[in-house]
Amino acid sequence: MEREKTIGFVGFGAMASRMARNLRVAGYGAVVYTPSGRGGSDGDCIVGSARQVGEQADIVIVCVPDDRALNAALYGQDGLLGGMRSGGLLINASSNSPEASVALDQAASALDLTALDAPISGSTPEADAGELVILVGGPEEGVRRAQPIFDIIGRLTIHAGPSGSGSKLKLVINGIMAAGMVALAESVTYGLASGLDHATLLEALSAVPVVSPHHKRKLKNVFAGDISSQFPTRLMHKDIGLLLTAAAGHALSVPLMAAAAQLLSLTRRDHADDDYSASLKVAENLAQTHL
């Protein structure tokens, strides 16, 4: 496949593999490195290092779980940056700290590469449907170049500002998402403890405009016993940790987010790989536990 129609992938989990599927339909090929050794499928060209991805593609999407994985993927002997050709475009779709995004931008610029932080808002259903929202930080020119790809995997691109801005905006959004779930968990737990039944709560909370569509879907799933992962607890727990650290870095007071993080921490104990809406189930269980 011609080089300009090849997208490199470093990290190929639930989100990246779905992006690749939609890109394939649109005529793009993929060259893939999975740090975990898992993932990828017959149609994908799997290579042995992030560096090799960079050697074979001029546009690379990085989608790894956290700062540590990002640093491991980018830097060092076998890192992506060592392989990419001058002029390449690195689209970092990971949810990592703003600091890591800024550091990547600097490292990339020094190598005459363009880096965008482009974390994704949306879970697996939106990834399947090509309905993601892409939150981008980085230079205008890079965003223009990436736009055709963003248009395939997503329904909306928001260019939030210079490098790091996408990562920051992602923390804003995921903070609201996490807090919204914990708010639901605490409220619903009170409702149940007070004698309201599941059906009434589901009917009411599905009907009012003060609950988001996302959280309505989660509530329905959890009440139906479905906590299969669309967005795993361990990643949400990590994201709210990033938000707390970032807010502390700006000397802000965010007591509600700090409280939200605690139920996610408790949820991670037994549901790290389940959907983060398992927190609702955990809150419900806690209300019935003798300690």
**Footprint of a second copy on residues 16-35 (CB under 8 A)?**
none
CB under 8 A: which stretch of 2-10, 43-51, 107-115, 184-192 binds a second copy?
184-192
Q: Are 7 and 61 in contact (CB under 8 A)?
A: yes
The answer to whether the beta carbons of residues 83 and 110 sit under 8 Å apart is no
Beta-carbon count within 10 A of 258 CB: 14
> Closest separation between CB of residue 289 and a second copy, Å?
6
Residue from 87, 161, 224, 228 binding a second copy (CB under 8 A): 161
Of 74, 263, 274, 280, the one binding a second copy (CB under 8 A) is 263
Of 27, 48, 213, 225, the one binding a second copy (CB under 8 A) is: 213
Closest by CA position to 81, among listed 102, 101, 52 = 52
Ramachandran region, residue 11 (left: φ > 0; alpha: ψ -120 to 50; beta: rest): left
3-state secondary structure of 47: coil
Site for a second copy in 75-104 (CB under 8 A): 98
CB 215 within 8 Å of CB 180: yes
Catalytic residue list contains 168: no
What kind and span of H or E run contains 46?
strand 45-46
Q: Which of residues 266-285 bind a second copy (CB under 8 A)?
A: 266-270, 281-282, 285
Write down the catalytic residue from 5, 168, 170, 238.
170
Nearer to a second copy, 84 or 240 (CB): 240
Confirm or reject binding of residue 187 to a second copy (CB under 8 A): yes
> Measured from the CB atom, is 1 or 252 closer to a second copy?
252
Q: Answer yes or no whether residue 153 interacts with a second copy by CB under 8 A.
A: no
Which is closer to a second copy, CB of 53 or CB of 135? Answer: 135
> Site for a second copy (CB under 8 A): how many residues?
84
What is the spatial distance between Cα 152 and Cα 170, in angstroms, rounded to a whole number? 20
Q: Which stretch binds a second copy (CB under 8 A): 10-18, 28-36, 70-78, 246-254?
A: 246-254
- Amino acid identity at 202: L
**Cα 283 versus chain centre, distance:** 24
Beta bridge partners of 9: 32, 61
Binders of a second copy among residues 116 to 145 (CB under 8 A) are 121, 133, 135
224: contact with a second copy by CB under 8 A:
no
d(CA 58, CA 39): 22
Catalytic residues: 170
